[in-house]
Amino acid sequence: MAEITLRKILVTLDGSEIAENVLPYVRSLAPSFGSHVDVLGSVMGRKDRRLNRLLEDYISRTATNLQNEGIKADPVVLYGNAADKILDHADKNNVDLIIMATHGRSGISLWWVGSVAEKVISATKSPMLLVPVKKADKPEAVGKLTIEKILVPLDGSDAGQAALPYAETLAKQMGASISLIQVIPSPATMDPSISGGPYWIKFVEAINDTAQDYLSGIAKKLTQQGIQTTYEVMSGDPAYKIIEHAEHEMAGLIAMSTHGRTGIARWVLGSVTDKVMHGAKMPIWIVRPPKMVISSPKG
């Protein structure tokens, strides 16, 4: 598995304390990878509006604070639809990672971070780090953080492995362990004509054995890279099991593909990722397989 470089990171802020929960991730990742950081704010209306001037000052001040910590950072303020501007900037500047908060309302620019994040996820070709926050959370804008365990859900397909190189690279940089899981969907999501038939038990055993072999092979390669790795095959609702396992294992990060189909189990990882994104309490690193990238919307 090839290692990943993060030459350019785009972090989006809207002037709210909630969105600042992404900054510890910037402070941890940028120095580790020698990344250049664009601190982006997007606003609507005239430049001479007081709220817009406040956001410009805020973005500039945040970039300066990062510079004072030895991080290469530039302020970027764009006027127009937030999602469109983020997508356009990421595409034109070959951004390697977009970091966004997934919930919360802004204090200055009044755009909804969650809604913007979903629009960007649907169209960007850049990997995204989504940091879920709630209004009750106390912002942790100061300092760095450590990630001790990364959960990587896989589905047996090449497309489903898109996030694996990122997890491998992060694990090496941060000394984290990796937990691999593959969730075999419950019988209700499979072909009903097979369920309950005379070959059902053998069918389930074959799926499980295939998944075990698949995960053990990947775990072996990661272990040879010096990464502590565990793996587990389980059955049930994929999204629910991923979230449950991440919480039980106290994973600091979930890294997964946005799309991918299994050969046997036939579930779409894209829809599972969407459910995990809305239900997980920990950050999610989402990667779209190259063949799945779609054009950014215009308008």
Across the range 141-167, mean pLDDT stands at: 86
Say if residue 190 is in the same domain as residue 263: yes
d(CA 276, CA 253): 12
pLDDT at position 14 is 85
Highest mean pLDDT among 46-50, 207-211, 249-253: 249-253
Say if residue 210 is in the same domain as residue 120: no
Model pLDDT for residues 20-63, shown as the tens digit of each residue: 889 999 999 999 999 999 999 988 767 777 778 889 999 999 99
Q: Would residue 272 count as lying in a domain?
A: yes
Which of 76-90, 132-146, 161-175 is predicted least confidently? 132-146
Q: Would residue 299 count as lying in a domain?
A: no
Domain CATH for 93: 3.40.50.620
Query: pTM to 2 decimals?
Result: 0.84
pLDDT at position 119 is 83
Q: Could you give the number of structural domains in the chain?
A: 2
Model pLDDT for residues 232-248, shown as the tens digit of each residue: 999 888 899 999 999 99
Using an 8 Å Cβ cutoff, are 269 and 159 in contact?
yes
Say if residue 127 is in the same domain as residue 12: yes
pLDDT at position 95 is 96
pLDDT at position 292 is 52
The share of the chain scoring above pLDDT 90, in percent, equals 50
**pLDDT higher than threshold 60 for residue 283:** yes
Using an 8 Å Cβ cutoff, are 285 and 127 in contact?
yes
Across the range 215-222, mean pLDDT stands at: 97
pLDDT at position 111 is 41
Using an 8 Å Cβ cutoff, are 140 and 150 in contact?
no
Say if residue 101 is in the same domain as residue 161: no
**In the numeric block, which tokens belong to residue 67?**
């510079």
Band of the pLDDT at 168, cuts 50, 70, 90? very high
Say if residue 121 is in the same domain as residue 162: no
- The bridge status of strand 253-257 relative to strand 97-101 is unpaired
Say if residue 109 is in the same domain as residue 188: no
Sorted by sequence, the CB contacts under 8 Å of residue 6 that are 6+ apart come out as 29, 30, 33, 35, 96, 97
**pLDDT higher than threshold 70 for residue 141:** no
**pLDDT higher than threshold 70 for residue 118:** yes
Say if residue 12 is in the same domain as residue 58: yes
d(CA 201, CA 195): 9
Range of the domain at 191: 149-292
